Structure formats: structure tokens, C-alpha cells
Copies of this chain bind each other. A is one copy, B any other.
């Protein structure tokens, strides 16, 4: 995947320090990040408001998407390639580890189809699995 600068240019967003750094966090993170995660990880002290606005912009442009959570902690994660052009195809499962409390994207696990009662027209679907991730199981399997 491209670096943050390239992604920003492709999305026709001006390249600024905060956008580059925040996007870089996601590229490294390979999991979901919350507003406060991001604030903590940013070495440069960007204003909290800037982080909010940057995240909103990224969601709007389809660079990241929001992940549903049970608590009221909004999580964001990188959209996979197909998202970037505007169509949101983030139909993959998200995994929340109850040990390390990290939410990981499982891009290889797609959300299965379900048959709904008559009259219901599905458009998008999300799935969150909670449990223990590979890393926390003590296995050498990467949490990728």
C-alpha cells in the first residue's frame, strides 16, 4: 500500500503534517484506533480539534471507516483498497480482543450472508467477533 503522502494526493487532500502523521498511524497500526489512541500516539502535539476534523475528513473521503463498538468508544480503521474509490466494501469481520483490547481487521474473513425476514432489504452489514486474538493466545501467529 502507498505511503500517507500518496494516499492524500490521490484523494485530492492537501498534504499537511497532521494528516500525514495520523494517516501514518493507521498504516502502521493494522488494527482499529480510537480518537484517544491517536491523540496518545501522536508525538507532535496536535490540537484535539485537529484530530477530530482530520478523522471526519478521512471518513468522508473514504480513507478510513468507523467500526461499531459496544461501548461508546468510536473506532476507526483503514479502508481496504476497494473503499478508496468511494464504494464502501468494508464487509470484513472485525475482531476485538478481550485481553489486549485491540480491535483488528480481518480482511480475509468476509461477513457471511444471512437471510432476513420478508420485507427487509439489506444494504450493508457489519460483524464484530470478541474473543482472544492470536498474539494474546501466546502463539507465534501474527495478529495480522
Q: By the criterion CB–CB under 8 Å, are B111 and A137 in contact?
A: no
Measured CB to CB, the closest approach of chain B to A129, in angstroms, equals 4
Set of chain B residues within 8 Å of A119, measured between Cβ atoms: 133-135, 137, 139, 141, 143
Known contacts A66-B70, A69-B68, A71-B74; A141/B125 CB under 8 A: no
- The CA-CA distance from A119 to B144 in the complex, in Å, is 11
Contact indicator B131/A118 (Cβ below 8 Å) = no
Interface size class on chain A is 35 or more
Main secondary structure on A side of the interface with B: loop
Q: Give residues 96-144 of A contacting B (CB, 8 Å).
A: 98, 106, 108-109, 111-112, 114-135, 137, 139, 141, 143-144
Asked if A95 CB lies within 8 Å of chain B CBs, one says yes
Q: From the candidates B106, B109, B117, B126, name the one contacting A109 in the complex (CB within 8 A).
A: B117
| Docked-complex contact A106 and B116, CB < 8 angstroms | yes
| Interface status of A22 (Cβ within 8 A of chain B) | no
Asked whether B111 lies within 8 Å of A139 as measured between CB atoms, the reply is no
